[in-house]
């Protein structure tokens, strides 16, 4: 009913192969874009922009870069954190050497440096595969993180060894540094992320994407049908590292404002890898879903734990109830009882928590943090159990069922 | 729908109750870390800070009639959570206490735009001492450069440093690198050889490579700039390699009782410079016991309360309370805002009489601040581990600030230029 495909005839191959074979998909994307470009910037508080919107977009972009390499081309990488670092340090050098350069261009340029480094560390992939390649990228991770600490030219011989984002102007306003408004930073991040997402969708659907997928599925077979593995693997490393590097530049210059070398340690690589895996390897949308779960949810839970449940504004209450209702409905459509239980359970726990608050119940902020970590961990396990192929696959199943809802076979 | 009606009714009720209950309250959030890799050192400090404010709320009903909301926002020492906490609290807060050097570095430029005082007692960026440039940042009573200078003074008192070798064991992180400029300056002037030995964040617990180097180089002294698990690692390793403990000196963050209890008697002679001391006989401790501990309002315990870090937490909150009181008296209102608190923190005059009045005799050296001097340069005592606890091993050592005043000014200038446009305090006419 909601996702009715009846009457949407495809009379040509082009129509059948289109980006949105079902009209509702395009409609849904349009709504999301309107939210991203118009409604969020108009309504969101600075806190939301700084702790939810910007980091989710940046992490999603980093995961998308990794997904190109691991999900589409099948080359496992543990060096994402370091490649993000290359982007960030390259951007720092570009901006301090050419202060009059437009910061957005500097960010987009810095990706080329990480692409170069990525290709260099991707060369072993021509000989080794799987876990062995993961170890080779791990070497890149440790080597580069060590380099960020020891090579003082990278941070302009700063005594503290950290890089600081200077205030930079473009188009007559501050777009970077502490003087820049959050909303400006958000729009720049959104612009870059949208641009690169469009690029990725088209790349992965096109010729190059097909060679990557063939390489991933069976490289010997791919070679036999005439795919140049050298080209396929190294372009995957280049494109992936470019996107990861841009994400790294955004991460420091549009969000954190300052960074020490230890920011780019292996924990960051793992976090991005988790986002890509939970979101779904070999998908574009999954990266956003994964980032919402891993980066956004802890912040939301913290806020919920900190507010008086029964004193929240009507707007937030409606939003919360609508979200729970939508989640319950979607899981219901997919006949996923566990999912429905989890969504309703979340609502019930919130109500109980609010009731307890009315009777003077308080949790220390350290305890909230412990509980938060437990909830996120449990949710990761939960989603991987109900759908091992990630959130993207979960959405695809729900969408399939939605098309025939309410009359399942 | 039923849920929603219930919720809406409760929401309406809540708003009514909420508005009725509003009293004058000052919001001074603390970006605490009771979780994560540094929790062991964080917890006693956080408890000390919170307990002092609870004591004021219980005993005096707050400061000047306004209760203090000393809410904690948990960061786990992570910079990402730090930004989250800063953004979350900055709307209402009259001060921000960022704790980690990483978070301080991120928050420092933002506070200058958001106009919120940043209180980083004994940590953060040493050039913050220059109040004309860093008009919103405070690191009283002493900065890391003061600490480095006091340690060198203490070592020099044991005999000329000419031709000696000092190993500088430090965390390879902005915090650990902070005192290097002053150490290098002294090395050049006093003719000793400085041997910086970095300890990476990943190797804090296993420092065998660093201590092998120390054994090979045979330095006369080891000066340590460590934090968290690094201190315990270094102290156990020093005992294992039989390094003479009396030649081993740490910064104030490397003087945690629990780290030394691990080695007990073997750690005898280890020293740590400190601007605070846990004077258990001070009247303040009795007040805390009476109003906070016995009332069941604290998370601390008997053993922790006797430690250096708990006492330091008390001192930190006392400094903040003093700033609030100054501002209230000057502006004639209990409900001060961030700008007024800045004035209060710039005009702290903690004389010996005032320290006795606060019941904190011997817990903190006297110091005063001005609009140009945001550190106070209180000086400190050399504390020594006697096998069971830290005792004062020296008289008050005063830092020789003149020797590195130029360094402070240059570093502050450099920071302001690289962060241009940077608002300075143009009205301040007092010199540093």
Is residue A226 domain-shared with residue A207, that is, in the same domain? yes
pLDDT surpassing 60 at residue B18: no
Q: In percent, how much of chain B has pLDDT > 70?
A: 94
Query: A263: which chain B residues are within 8 Å (Cβ-Cβ)?
Result: 79
Reported ipTM: 0.81
Same domain for A69 and A7: no
Rounded to two decimals, the pTM is 0.87
**Is A240 in the same domain as A207?**
yes
Distance from chain centroid for Cα B140: 8
Partners of B368 in the β-ladder: B349
Chain A nearest C-alpha distance from B106 (Å): 5
Contact yes or no for A240/A79 (Cβ under 8 A): no
Interface test with A, best of B16, B18, B102, B225 (most A CBs within 10 A): B102
* A360 touching chain B per CB within 8 A: no
Q: Is residue A41 within 8 angstroms of chain B, CB to CB?
A: no
Give B97's strand partners: B30
The percent of residues above 90 in pLDDT, for chain B, comes to: 49
Task: Kindly state whether A169 is in contact with chain B, defined as any CB-CB distance less than 8 angstroms.
Answer: no
pLDDT reported for residue A409: 63
Name the pLDDT band for B31 (thresholds 50, 70, 90).
very high
pLDDT tens, position by position, B276-285: 999 889 999 9
**Per the CB < 8 Å rule, is B173 touching A260?**
yes
Give B330→chain A minimum CA distance, Å.
31
Contact A161 B8 (CB under 8 A): no
Residue A236 belongs to some domain of the structure: yes
Note whether A164 contacts B: Cβ–Cβ < 8 A. yes
A218, A233, A266 - which closes a domain: A266
Which of A235, A251, A266 is where one domain is finished?
A266
For residue B422, pLDDT beyond 60? yes
pLDDT of residue A304: 81
Residue range B1-8: average pLDDT? Answer: 45
What domains can be seen in chain B, in order of their start residue? 23-142+278-379 (3.40.50.2300), 156-274 (3.40.50.2300)
Residues of A in contact with B110 (CB under 8 A): 178, 257
Sign of CA dihedral A280, A286, A287, A293: negative
Element (DSSP H or E) covering residue B15: helix B2-20
Cβ separation A51–B35 shorter than 8 A:
no
Claim to verify: residue A33 and residue A70 sit in the same structural domain: no
Low-confidence spans in chain A with pLDDT less than 70: 409
**Residue A112: per-residue pLDDT:** 96
Query: Residue range B131-139: average pLDDT?
Result: 89
What is the count of structural domains for chain A?
2
B17, B30, B74, B103, best to mutate vs chain A, most A CBs in 10 Å: B74
Q: Counting every residue, how long is chain A? A: 409
A25 with A80, same domain: the answer is: no
* Contact residues, chain B, for A46 at CB < 8 Å: 87
Write out pLDDT tens, residues B398-407: 999 898 889 9
Q: Does residue A291 belong to any structural domain of this protein?
A: no
* Structure token pair of residue A46: 């600075």
Q: Encode pLDDT of B176-235 as tens digits.
A: 888 999 999 999 999 999 999 999 888 888 898 999 999 999 999 999 998 888 899 999
Residue A132 shares a structural domain with residue A103: yes
Residue whose pair of structure tokens reads 């001005």 in the numeric block:
B370
Query: A–B: how many Cβ contacts below 8 A?
Result: 125
Helix (H) or strand (E) holding B340: helix B338-346
Instruction: Give the mutation candidate from B49, B100, B419 for the A interface (greatest A CB count, under 10 A).
Output: B419
Predicted confidence (pLDDT) per residue in B243-259, tens digit: 999 999 999 999 898 88
Whether chain B has a CB inside 8 Å of the CB on A302: the answer is yes
Cβ–Cβ of A265/B201 closer than 8 Å?
yes
Which residues contact residue B127 at a Cβ distance below 8 angstroms, ignoring those fewer than 6 apart? B133, B134, B407, B408, B411, B412, B415
Q: Are A79 and A161 members of one domain?
A: yes
Q: Are residues A10 and A61 in the same domain?
A: no
Give the residue numbers spanning the domain of A39. 1-43
Q: B426 vs B313, which has greater pLDDT?
A: B313
DSSP secondary structure string for all residues of B54-114: HHHHHHTSSBTTBEEE--B---TT-HHHHHHHHHHHTTT-S-BB--SHHHHHHHHHHHHHH
Average pLDDT for residues B85-89, to the nearest whole number? 88
3-state secondary structure labels for all residues of chain A: CCCCCCCCCCCCHHHHCCCCCCHHHHHHHHHHHHHHHHHHHHHCCHHHHHHHHHHHHHHHHHHHHHHHHHHHCCCCCCCHHHHHHHHHHHHHHHHHHCCCCCHHHHHHHHHHHHHHHHHHHHHHHHCCCHHHHHHHHHHHHHHHHHHHHHCHHHHCCCCCCCEECCCEEECCEEEECCCCCHHHHHHHHHHHHHHHHHHHHHHHHCHHHHHHHHHHHCHHHHHHCCCCHHHHHHHHHHHHHHHHHHHHHHHHHHHHCEECHHHHCHHHHHHHHHHHHHHCCCCCHHHHHHHHHHHHHHHHHHHHHHCCHHHCCHHHHHHHHHHHHHHHHHHHHCCCHHHHHHHHHHHHHHHHHHHHHHCCCCCCHHHHHHHHHHHHHHHHHHHHHHCCCCHHHHHHHHHHHHHHCCCCC
What pLDDT sits at residue B110? 87
Same domain? A92 vs A4: no
């Amino acid at each position: 009913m909601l996702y009715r495909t009846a009457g949407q005839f495809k009379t040509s191959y082009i129509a059948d192969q289109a980006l949105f074979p079902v009209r509702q998909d395009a409609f849904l994307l349009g709504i999301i874009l309107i939210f991203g470009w118009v409604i969020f910037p108009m309504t969101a508080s600075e806190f939301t922009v700084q702790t939810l919107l910007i980091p989710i977009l940046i992490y999603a972009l980093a995961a998308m870069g990794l997904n190109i390499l691991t999900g589409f081309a099948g080359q496992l990488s543990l060096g994402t954190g370091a490649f993000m670092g290359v982007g960030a340090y390259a951007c720092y050098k570009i901006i301090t050497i050419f202060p009059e350069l437009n910061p957005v261009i500097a960010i987009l340029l810095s990706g080329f440096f990480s692409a170069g480094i990525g290709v260099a560390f991707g060369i072993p992939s021509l000989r080794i595969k799987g876990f062995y390649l993961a170890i080779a990228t791990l070497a890149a991770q440790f080597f580069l993180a060590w380099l960020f600490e020891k090579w003082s030219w990278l941070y302009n011989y700063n005594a503290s060894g950290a890089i600081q984002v200077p205030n930079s102007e473009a188009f007559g306003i501050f777009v970077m540094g502490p003087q820049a408004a959050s909303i400006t930073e958000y729009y720049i991040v959104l612009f870059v992320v949208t641009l690169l997402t469009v690029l990725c969708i088209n790349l992965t659907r096109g010729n190059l994407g097909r060679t990557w997928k063939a390489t991933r599925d069976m490289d010997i077979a791919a070679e036999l049908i005439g795919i140049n593995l050298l080209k396929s693997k190294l372009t995957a490393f280049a494109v992936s590292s470019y996107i990861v590097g841009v994400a790294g530049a955004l991460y420091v210059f549009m969000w954190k404002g300052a960074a020490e070398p230890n920011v780019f340690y292996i924990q960051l690589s793992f976090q991005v890898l988790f986002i890509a895996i939970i979101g779904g390897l070999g998908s574009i949308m999954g990266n956003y879903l994964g980032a919402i779960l891993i980066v956004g949810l802890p912040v939301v839970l913290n806020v919920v734990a900190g507010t008086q449940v029964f004193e929240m504004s009507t707007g937030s209450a409606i939003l919360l109830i609508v979200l729970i209702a939508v989640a319950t409905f979607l899981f219901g459509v997919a006949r996923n009882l566990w999912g429905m239980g989890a969504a309703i359970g979340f609502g019930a726990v919130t109500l109980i928590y609010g009731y307890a608050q009315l009777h003077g119940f308080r949790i220390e902020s350290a305890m909230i943090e412990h509980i938060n970590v437990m909830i996120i961990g449990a949710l990761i396990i939960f989603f991987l159990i109900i759908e091992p192929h990630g959130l993207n696959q979960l959405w695809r199943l729900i969408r399939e069922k939605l098309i025939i809802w309410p009359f399942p076979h | 729908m039923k849920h929603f009606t219930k919720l809406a009714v409760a929401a309406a009720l809540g708003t009514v109750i909420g508005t009725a209950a509003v009293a004058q309250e000052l919001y001074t959030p603390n970006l605490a870390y009771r979780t994560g890799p540094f929790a062991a050192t964080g917890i006693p400090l956080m408890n000390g800070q919170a307990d002092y404010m609870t004591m004021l709320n219980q005993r005096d009903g707050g400061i000047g009639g306004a209760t203090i909301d000393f809410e904690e926002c948990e960061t786990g020492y992570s910079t990402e959570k730090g930004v989250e906490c800063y953004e979350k609290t900055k709307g209402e807060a009259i001060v921000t206490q960022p704790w980690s050097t990483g978070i301080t570095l991120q928050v420092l430029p933002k506070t200058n735009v958001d106009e919120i005082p940043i209180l980083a007692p004994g940590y953060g960026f040493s050039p913050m001492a220059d109040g004309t440039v860093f008009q919103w940042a405070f690191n009283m009573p002493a900065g890391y450069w003061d600490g480095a200078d006091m340690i060198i003074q203490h070592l020099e008192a044991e005999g000329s440093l000419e031709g000696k070798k000092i190993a500088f064991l430090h965390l390879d992180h902005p915090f650990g690198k902070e005192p290097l400029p002053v150490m290098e300056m002294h090395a050049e002037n006093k003719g000793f050889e400085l041997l910086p030995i970095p300890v990476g964040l990943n190797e804090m617990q296993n420092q065998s490579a660093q201590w092998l180097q120390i054994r090979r180089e045979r330095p006369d002294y080891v000066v340590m700039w460590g934090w968290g698990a690094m201190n315990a690692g270094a102290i156990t390793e020093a005992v294992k390699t039989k390094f003479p403990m009396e030649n081993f000196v740490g910064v104030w963050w490397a003087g945690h009782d629990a780290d030394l209890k691990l080695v007990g008697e073997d750690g005898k002679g280890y020293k740590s410079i400190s601007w605070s001391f846990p004077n258990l006989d001070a009247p303040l401790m009795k007040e805390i016991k009476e109003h906070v501990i016995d009332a069941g309002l604290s998370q601390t315990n008997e053993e922790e309360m006797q430690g250096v870090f708990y006492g330091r937490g008390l001192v930190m909150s006392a400094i903040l309370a003093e700033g609030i009181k100054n501002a209230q008296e000057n502006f004639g209102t209990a409900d001060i805002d961030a700008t007024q608190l800045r004035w209060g923190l710039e005009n702290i005059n903690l004389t010996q009489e005032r320290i006795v009045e606060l019941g904190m005799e011997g817990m903190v050296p006297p110091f005063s601040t001005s609009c140009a001097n945001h550190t106070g340069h209180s000086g400190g005592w050399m504390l020594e581990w006697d096998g069971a606890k830290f005792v004062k091993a020296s008289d008050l050592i005063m830092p020789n600030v003149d020797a590195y005043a130029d360094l402070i000014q240059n570093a502050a200038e450099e920071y302001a230029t690289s962060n241009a446009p940077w608002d300075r305090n143009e009205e301040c006419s007092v010199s540093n």
